[in-house]
Amino acid sequence: MKEKNQNFFFELELEEDQSIKFAFWADARSTAAFEYFGDVISFDTTYNINRYNLVCGSFVGVNRHGQSTLLRCSLMKNEEIELFKWLFQCWLRFMGENAPKGFLTDQCASMKRALEACMPTTIHRWCIWHIMKKIPSKLNGYKGHADIEQQMSEVVWNSRSKDSFDRNWNDFLLNFGLVDNKWLSGYSVYKVGEQVSSSIFNKFVVTYDSVAAEIKCQCLLFESRGILCRHTLSVLSFEQVSQVSPRYILKRWRKKVKRRHTHIKSRQDKSLLEPRSKRFDQLVFRSQNICEFASESEELTAILHRAYDNVMTEMESLKAKRKGTSSLSHEDANLESVNELQSPPRIRTRGRPKNRLGSKLDKQIANATKKKKMKVLSEVKVMFF
């Protein structure tokens, strides 16, 4: 893969028998996408490789459409703290020691300690989805667990601030006699709800500073989603503000931003690399180094601009002479011999299911399909009788 794309990055650590102990990789497209969508990362290790039970970790960001985008991948033999440290150190080396602003993970203690050691300035939070998925297994032994789950969801999703969450959480524990529950009593985290019940919370305080052009709403939509809410826009309209401050228009949402990752092929098979894609990858690789060097000063930048203009004029002239004909050639890649990797032995992972944790949508689709099949079968039986 490295021969096919010079921007492909990987690191391997092998056992004495040449089996994989650790692998970390990222293709050119993911690397370019990190430039725009790598401010907050979700690291998920709820996947595994069925054949060898290697732990598969995915680094995922959110793109400008609110969709998940894969940024990095890893394979690990186990989930010990030393391997997590190795993983995060690989990340930092690859990114020039630039750590993401935020990191979302599950409740793995080894992962938490490794992050604290390798990325002390990064804000680490537990993924609320993983926490809420554990409710049925943790509370099934309690009488009226369905009511407990419902009330817990109300507290988690409908608390607008840390103070209100703390109050509601303490009341929740007292009302259901859950103060002694170790799993619940240890929580001090909170997340602003995605949907706030208008029947309970129908007023939001918006603070606006016209001098500093700063505005903040109590609903915290901008802080959690990066988009100004309708409450702040209403205040700006009332104040007759015709232009929103650039600080509230994040780079990821802007149409005019030229995103490099959209021009890079996600696949690197031979058909895509012959000939145009391979030439493009080579040009991108070289131009990155040139641009980084030229951006150090205005003088160097001016030199590069003049060179670009001269080269563009020469290429346009050559293209006009050829009138659409092409004499471009392709050179076969010379692949170097590599050591043969051995298959890793089977291992037991700690509490990981064979399949990934299913989402609510997955279950809804499965239930709908099951009901449809049952309906068809019942209709068939009626026809026979």
Q: Are residues 14 and 114 in the same domain?
A: yes
Report the predicted TM-score, pTM, of the whole model to 2 decimal places: 0.53
Q: Are residues 227 and 189 in the same domain?
A: no
Residue 73's CB: how many other CB atoms inside 10 A?
Answer: 18
Query: Does 29 fall in a domain?
Result: yes
Ordered per-residue pLDDT tens for the chain, 385 residues: 555 555 677 777 787 777 777 888 877 777 777 777 778 888 888 765 556 677 888 888 887 777 788 888 888 887 888 888 888 888 888 777 778 888 888 878 888 898 888 888 888 888 887 777 777 777 777 777 778 888 888 888 877 777 788 888 888 888 888 777 776 665 543 333 333 333 344 577 888 888 888 898 888 888 877 888 888 898 888 888 888 888 888 877 776 655 555 555 555 444 444 576 667 777 877 787 788 788 888 999 999 999 988 998 888 888 887 764 443 333 333 434 445 666 666 555 544 454 554 445 456 556 766 666 666 556 544 444 4
Q: Are residues 32 and 63 in the same domain?
A: yes
Q: Determine the longest span between alpha carbons in the chain, in angstroms.
A: 89
Q: Are residues 88 and 32 in the same domain?
A: yes
Cis peptide, bond prior to residue 275, ω within 30 of zero: yes
Query: Does 215 fall in a domain?
Result: yes
Q: Are residues 39 and 66 in the same domain?
A: yes
> Cβ neighbours of residue 23 under 8 Å, at least 6 residues apart?
10, 11, 12, 13, 74, 75
What is the number of structural domains in the chain? 4
153 CB-side CA count, 13 A: 15
Query: Does 30 fall in a domain?
Result: yes
Q: Are residues 19 and 109 in the same domain?
A: yes
Q: Are residues 188 and 221 in the same domain?
A: no
Q: Are residues 240 and 312 in the same domain?
A: no
49 phi, psi to nearest 5 deg: -95, 115
Query: Does 196 fall in a domain?
Result: yes
> Which residue range(s) make up the domain with 96?
9-126
Q: Which of 279, 303, 322 is the last residue of a domain?
A: 322
CATH of the domain at 24: 3.30.420
Q: Which of 60, 95, 126 is the last residue of a domain?
A: 126
Q: Are residues 100 and 112 in the same domain?
A: yes
Q: Are residues 25 and 92 in the same domain?
A: yes
Q: Which of 293, 322, 351 is the last residue of a domain?
A: 322
Query: Does 282 fall in a domain?
Result: yes
Query: Does 361 fall in a domain?
Result: no
Q: How far apart are CA 187 and CA 79, in angstroms?
A: 23
Query: Does 339 fall in a domain?
Result: no
Q: Are residues 230 and 278 in the same domain?
A: no
Q: How far apart are CA 154 and CA 142, in angstroms?
A: 18
Q: Are residues 62 and 107 in the same domain?
A: yes
- The secondary structure element, H or E, covering residue 12 is strand 9-14
